[in-house]
Structure 1
Amino acid sequence: MNISVLGCGRWGTFIAWYLNKAGHQVLLWGRETSKNYKELAETRKNDYLALPEGIELTNSLEMAIEYSEVHIISISAQQLRSFAWQLNQHNIKGKTFILCMKGLEAESGKRLSQVVSEEAAGANVAVWVGPGHVQDFVKGIPNCMVIGSENVDITKEIVQKFSSDLIRFYYGQDMIGNEIGAATKNVMGIAAGMLDGLGYTSLKGSLMARGTREISRLVRAMGGNDITIYGLSHLGDYEATLFSPHSHNRKFGQSFVEGERFGKLAEGVATVEALMVLSKQYNVEMPISGALYQILFENAEAKETLEQLFLRPIKFEF
């Protein structure tokens, strides 16, 4: 099967590597001006892996779209709307686009599948979410992930063709829950990193318990299944985000409270903004997300704000 991977950062490059290893013909696209693309074009490797000879590289979006009926998008979530508009300038009707990023549109709070559907009408949209780090996968450490779409036939086809001994895929039945869950686990990752940086690592158990409850309330208000938050897309991804040394979001949170600069993308920051939009829109109380917003965007003092968050007035747990 021919597959185009659009985006050649850490995750996009891994996906190309994985699908080639699973027996597919893969074309990997990146912007000509991208540092990641230039590095791959010159050396065919990055900090995590070396590209097999069977993977073709291109900086032509037209070529990438024509190459396949199935396309995987792995770029920054906040660039997705403009990128989807670019895609719509080509013949994409009936083609399938699988979103392999975890975020929400900051200004609107919209899910990424909604963004693509608005800008690229006529395309099929699916999501690929769940736990796992490139650093572990390339060592042969397996994990479980989720594929979901509004069309169960598309979901089943992708799962059947993408599954291997390295990744076991499950059918995602709840797009709202899976997308919100995947995006917000990065928010909880930032909170976990802040707790680590403040020496409050033992509070991450409370964060996990209360974080899942907070996000499940939002999903239910949005019309999704609140139980989805306890599946792979959110709670199942906590180990890879709240505890892993590889997590960009956890490392960002720790660096933030330690006063150090973190130079890599932490999608959870923009997701915090989006959650404030959704909190107001659906009238859902979100104390953890709200506390992070105060710290990140309103210059609230992290130690005091997080202490107040976890020492709120006594109430029944459920």
Structure 2
Amino acid sequence: MNISVLGCGRWGTFLAWYANKVGHNVILWGRENSKNYIGLKETRKNDYLSLPEDLELSNSLEKSVSFAEIIIISISAQELRSFANQLKSLNGIQGKTFILCMKGLEATSGKRLSQVFGEEVGKNINLAVWVGPGHVQDFVKHIPNCMVIGSENIEITKKIVQELNSDLIRFYYGQDLIGNELGAATKNVMGIAAGMLDGLNYRSLKGSLMARGTREISRLVRAMGGNDITIYGLSHLGDYEATLFSVHSHNRKFGQAFVEGERFGKLAEGVATVKALRDLSIQYDIELPICNAIYEIIFENKNAKETLEDLFLRPVKFEF
């Protein structure tokens, strides 16, 4: 099968490598002037992997889209709307299957990424999300993991899983798009909180963060029409190891750098997501104490140590 991956950052480049590894013809697209694309063009490798010879690199969006039956998108979540608008103007996108591989919410609207994509490209397209735990650094060492493919059409889900399942990534069928997307996005916010606890030498509070964080987000998922049990699956709780504890997690590293007064130069999607969650909390009248605390620390200059202590050492109440 022909597959194109749009976006040649750390994750997008891995996805192209992976699709090639499981036997597909692959084009990896990047913007001509992007640092990632220029580096791959010159050396055919990045910090994590080398591209196989039969994997094509292209900066032509039109060519990459027309080539493929399955199109995987891996760009910044906040750029998705303008990028989808760009895709809409290309010929022949109907009938193709698009997979969104970013974990975030649109900061300005609080909308899930499948909603954003559908609004721009149109409802009558095959659309799925690919979420769950896993780091490029582990996958390229052949350390396996479990992930989720979810869509509103089970036949599309099954087709994608059939084409991409392997010994390296075992896929599960996602049955709740709302829960899977919200879960994947919000685990990045919990990752920032975990990094802040690391930076404050409060690592032992990460267990409390996991327990309370899942409860908090499950309430929001239910209010938004999803299944609250989804949060305890791979898209959220299952991704905690890779986000709350991993040395590789950008969101955890951002949180730690933030409380240590250091600058973190890479993309941490949780920063934009926590803005969206602030609005969703108000819109759905759901208390999100952890998300709210992270918002106040990042955007309102609240003291991280005091805010997080107050959060976890709140007045006595029933656990459930």
Aligned to 2:2: 2
SS at match of 2:181: helix
Give the letter for the 2:127 counterpart.
V
Identity of aligned residues (%): 80
Tell me if 1:108 matches 2:109.
yes
Paired position in structure 2 for 1:142? 144
Task: Return the offset for 1:96.
Answer: 1.1
SS for the counterpart of 1:71 is strand
- Which residue of structure 1 lines up, in the alignment, with residue 229 of structure 2? 227
Give the drift of 1:48: 0.2
**Deviation of the 1:166 alpha carbon:** 0.2
Report the equivalent of 1:182: 184
Match of 2:60? Answer: 60
Shift of 1:277: 1.1
Query: SS where residue 264 of structure 1 aligns?
Result: coil
Report the Cα distance in structure 2 between the residues aligned to 1:165 and 1:124, rounded to whole angstroms.
Answer: 26
Shift of 1:269: 0.3
Give 2:95's aligned residue: 94
Shift in Å, 1:93: 1.4
Alignment of 1:125-274 (within 5 A): 125-274=127-276
2:40 matched residue in structure 1 = 40
Structure 1 residue runs of 4 or more that deviate by more than 2 Å after TM superposition: none
2:71 maps to what in 1? Answer: 71
CA distance in 2, matches of 1:37, 1:54: 17
* Aligned equivalent of 2:302, options 286, 300, 303: 300
Match of 1:119 in 2: 120
Please list every run of 5 or more consecutive structure 2 residues that lacks an aligned counterpart in the other structure. none
> 1:284: how far off?
0.4
**1:20-39 counterparts in 2 under 5 A?**
20-39=20-39
Q: Which SS does the other structure have where 1:240 is aligned?
A: helix
Tell me which residue corresponds to 1:85. Answer: 85
Query: Once the two structures are superposed, what CA deviation does each residue of 1:224-279 show, in whole Å capped at 9, x if it has no partner?
Result: 00000000000000000000000000000000000000000000000000101111
Note the alpha carbon deviations across 1:264-304, whole angstroms, 9 max, x for none: 00000000001011111111000000000100101101001
Q: Note the C-alpha offset of 1:174.
A: 0.1
Q: Distance in 1 between matches of 2:53 and 2:85?
A: 32
Q: How far apart are residue 123 of structure 1 and its match?
A: 2.2
**AA paired with 1:254?**
Q
SS of the equivalent of 1:275 reads helix
Give secondary structure in 2 for the equivalent of 1:104. coil
Secondary structure class of the residue paired with 1:107: coil
Q: Which amino acid aligns with 1:100?
A: C
Q: Measure, in 1, the Cα distance between the counterparts of 2:309 and 2:54.
A: 53
Partner SS state of residue 220, structure 2 = helix
1:37-61: CA deviation from partner (whole Å, max 9, x where unpaired): 0000000000000000010000000
SS in 2 for 1:140: coil
Give distance in 2, aligned partners of 1:197 and 1:231. Answer: 28
Letter in 1 for 2:193: A
Report the CA distance between 1:17 and its aligned residue: 0.4
CA distance in 1, matches of 2:125, 2:35: 29
Give, in whole Å, the separation in 1 of the partners of 2:293 and 2:284: 18
What is the CA–CA distance in structure 1 between the aligned matches of 2:291 and 2:53, rounded to whole Å?
44
What displacement does 1:87 show? 0.3
Q: When the two structures are superposed, what TM-score results if normalisation uses the length of structure 2?
A: 0.99
SS in 1 for 2:167: coil
For residues 70 and 238 of structure 2, the distance between their equivalents in structure 1, rounded to whole angstroms, comes to 27
Q: Helix, strand or coil: the match of 2:86?
A: helix
